[in-house]
Amino acid sequence: MSDVPLLPLFILMTSLLASPVLFALPESAARLRTAINLGMAMLKLALVAWLGWKVGQGVVYDLRFTMLPGLEFKLQADPLAMLFISLSAVLWLITTIYSIGYLEHGPHRARFFGFFSLCVAATVGIAMAGNLFTFLIFYELLTLATYPLVIHRGTAEALRAGRIYLIYTLAGGLVLLIGTLGLWVLAGTTDFTPGGVLEDVVTEHRLAAQILFVVLVGALGVKAALFPFHAWLPIAMVAPAPVSALLHAVAVVKAGAFGIMRVVYEVFGIETAQALGMTAPLAALAGITIIYGSLKAITQDDIKKRLAYSTVSQVSYITLGVALASPIAAVGALAHLIHQGLMKITMFMAAGNLAEGLGVKKVSQMDGVGREMPGTMLAFSAAALAMIGLPPLAGFVSKWYLAQGGLDAGAGWVIALLLGSSLLNAIYFLPMLHRAWFRDRADTASGTSYRQIGWMLAAPPITTALMVLAVGGFANAPFSPLEWTRFVVAIEYQE
């Protein structure tokens, strides 16, 4: 069917093969490292665009490789995968530029970019995994690749955070392994299939299927920072800014949310999951996480911690949209996968610039920073307003579809939840904007510029902020995330 059947493999390899080369480069070869980083990121973006074009035309990509009798390593590029790969390819390029600027002259750059590439490769693998077994492989790879990034600074605090991160994610990975084995034993396959693979099994093994749902979603919920498995995320904030940006926008939390999607839609099937009575509790748990994350965010003075709790809250929008079992809510969930990524990466890069350029790490120090760094703060403000859900920005589009989906699913409480959450978003974001733009910089703080913010640090958040405006403003244009989302939902709901 396809003229280049190995295209998904090539996309995986761009970042996977870059990684050992980057490791082997001597610390001093900065220019070559930059060239490889940017070259590979751009090559990947081009390949992803090509793949997206083909998949949009209905071309099917399916690569298999037998690992154990009956058990396959399988890569596929379905529209849902495309959604996630596009996000990771675009944001990889932008974050790479930002990281190069951020780590200029910093230590251990060879190690950093090696693991950074590996992390992106894992994300792509997660997106294209054609069965839960393959998903598991990349899911664990992601854990291993992100751990050295989290502890990059090598301080006692970073190592403590890394240890907590490792315990949470590896324990989650182990439970996912058990779940995958359980699925394999129960259904005889772990393939992702629209409509699910458990339809015939559930009548006979209802309880086993319910336990399996709890095990799988619980395991994925660790990375998706679903309450009560979210504690690692705010602690992992000691990581360098580009790592936090990547972790929150594409890599780790999204891998969890994306996995929940795959499991609900393509392992169980939305109807089966509903029939098992599992979607309503999941929606409730997502709702609790949304409110809990927002409440915790209000009390944080550390900017990155506030953003982290905001992520806990915002990522659960995706889970909520999946669990509502309505196609309209699903559109909101999938769109939010993209939208939240763009918004949050903007905010983390902006926070990184504040810390690097002005030494501002706390909300209480933010007075007047808007005048010191107008570009960065404009980007931050746009993303914050989008998070709150100001029309026509990206966050509004997600929330609009989620609310409609809630009505469609007969869950009126979702409207109240979204309004409440938006109010809380406003409570913790608006004071930051107020301080930045409408207060004067404290005398003691001004003038002590830490370092010059070059274009490599300034441009990326502005770029992503423009995307936040674009995906909201042109939501109905062809090839916008929202349009692609509708395409995906039509497949998952088998319409």
Partner 1 sequence: MNNLMSLDPMTLALFLPLFGAMAAFIAPRAASVIGLATVLANLGAVGWLAFEIRAAAELITPLGGWAPPLGIALRADGLSVAMLALTGAVGLLVSFSALDALRDARQRQYFWPLWLLLLTGLNGVYLGTDIFNLYVMIEVIALAAVGLTVLSGTREAVRAGLEYMYASILGALLFLMGVGFVYLQLGRLDFAGLIAATPSAALSAALALMVVGLLLKTALFPLHFWLPAAHANATAPASALLSGLVVKAALYIFLRLSTYMPLPDEILVTLLGALGAGALLWGSVQALRAERLKLLVAWSTVAQIGLIFIAFARAGQVGLVESWKAAALLILAHGIAKSAMFLAAGRIKDEVGHDIIRDLDRSAIRPTLAQFTFALAAISLIGLPPSLGFIGKWSLMEGALQAGYWHWVVATMVGTLLSVAYFSRVFAGFLRFDRMQGALAEHKGWALADLAPLTLALAAISLGLMAAPILSFIELGYPFGAMP
Q: Does 141 bind partner 1 (CB under 8 A)?
A: yes
- Give just the sign of the alpha carbon dihedral 25, 27, 32, 36: positive
Q: Which is nearer to partner 1, 10 or 184 (CB)?
A: 184
Query: Please, are residues 392 and 473 in contact by the beta-carbon 8 Å criterion?
Result: yes
Residues 301, 363 contacting (CB under 8 angstroms): yes
* Residue 187 beta carbon to partner 1: minimum distance, rounded to whole angstroms: 13
Beta bridge partners of 72: 66
> Rounded to whole angstroms, how far apart are CA atoms 414 and 324?
9
Tokens of 79: 């529209």
- Name the minimum Å distance from CB 234 to partner 1: 21
Q: State the minimum distance, in angstroms, from the CB of residue 232 to partner 1.
A: 14
Residue 167, interface with partner 1 (CB under 8 A)?
yes
Choose, by CB under 8 A, the member of 21, 181, 208, 415 that binds partner 1: 181
Shortest CB 418 distance to partner 1, Å = 38
Q: Which two tokens stand for residue 288?
A: 């609790």
The residue among 26 and 410 lying less far from partner 1, judged by its C-beta, is 26
Told to check if 144 binds partner 1 by CB under 8 A, we report: yes
From the CB of 378, what's the least distance to partner 1, in Å?
36
CB 267 within 8 A of CB 197: yes
* Residue 6 makes contact with partner 1 by CB under 8 A: no
Helices (H) and strands (E) counted in the chain, each on its own, are 21, 2
Residues numbered 11 to 40 that lie near partner 1 (CB under 8 A) are 23
- 211 is an interface residue for partner 1 by CB under 8 A: no
Token readout for 451 is 């370092």
* Separation of alpha carbons 319 and 221, rounded Å: 9
Q: How far is the CB of 428 from partner 1 (least distance, A)?
A: 32
Q: Which of 79, 101, 148, 332 binds partner 1 (CB under 8 A)?
A: 148
Q: Which stretch binds partner 1 (CB under 8 A): 156-164, 339-347, 368-376, 377-385?
A: 156-164
Per rule CB under 8 A, count of chain residues that contact partner 1: 34
Least Cβ distance, residue 209 to partner 1 (angstroms): 15
Distant-in-sequence, close-in-space partners of 479: CB < 8 Å, separation ≥ 6: none
Q: Pick the piece of the chain touching partner 1 (CB under 8 A) from 31-39, 168-176, 336-344, 418-426.
A: 168-176
d(CA 264, CA 112): 34
**Greatest CA separation for the chain:** 72
What is the number of residues in the chain?
A: 495
Q: How far is the CB of 425 from partner 1 (least distance, A)?
A: 36
238 DSSP 8-state letter:
G
Q: How far apart are CA 467 and CA 94, in angstroms?
A: 12
- Sole binder of partner 1 in the list 36, 159, 211, 298 (CB under 8 A): 159
Q: Which of 39, 106, 154, 188 is in the footprint of partner 1 by CB under 8 A?
A: 154
147 or 227: whose CB is closer to partner 1? 147
Radius of gyration from C-alpha coordinates of the chain: 21
Which neighbouring-strand residues pair with 64?
A: 74
* Alpha-carbon dihedral angle through residues 372, 375, 379, 380, given to the nearest 10 degrees: -10
Binding residues among 98-117 for partner 1 as defined by CB under 8 A: 107, 111
Looking at 149-157, 277-285, 357-365, 410-418, which segment touches partner 1 (CB under 8 A)?
149-157
Task: Give Cβ neighbours of residue 357 (< 8 Å, ≥ 6 apart).
Answer: 372, 373, 376, 449, 450, 451, 452, 453, 457
**Residue of 137, 280, 378, 491 interacting with partner 1 (CB under 8 A):** 137
Cis peptide before 374 (omega within 30 of 0): no
Closer residue to partner 1 (CB): 103 or 385: 103
| The one segment of 7-15, 144-152, 366-374, 414-422 that binds partner 1 by CB under 8 A | 144-152
Nearest to 334 by CA among 401, 272, 273, 393: 401
- Is 184 a binding residue for partner 1 by CB under 8 A? The answer is yes
| CB-nearer residue toward partner 1: 256 or 327 | 256
Of these, 29, 59, 178, 291, which contacts partner 1 (CB under 8 A)?
178
Residues binding partner 1 (CB under 8 A): 23, 65-69, 73, 107, 111, 136-137, 140-141, 144, 148, 151, 154-156, 159, 162-163, 166-167, 170-171, 173-174, 177-178, 181-182, 184-185
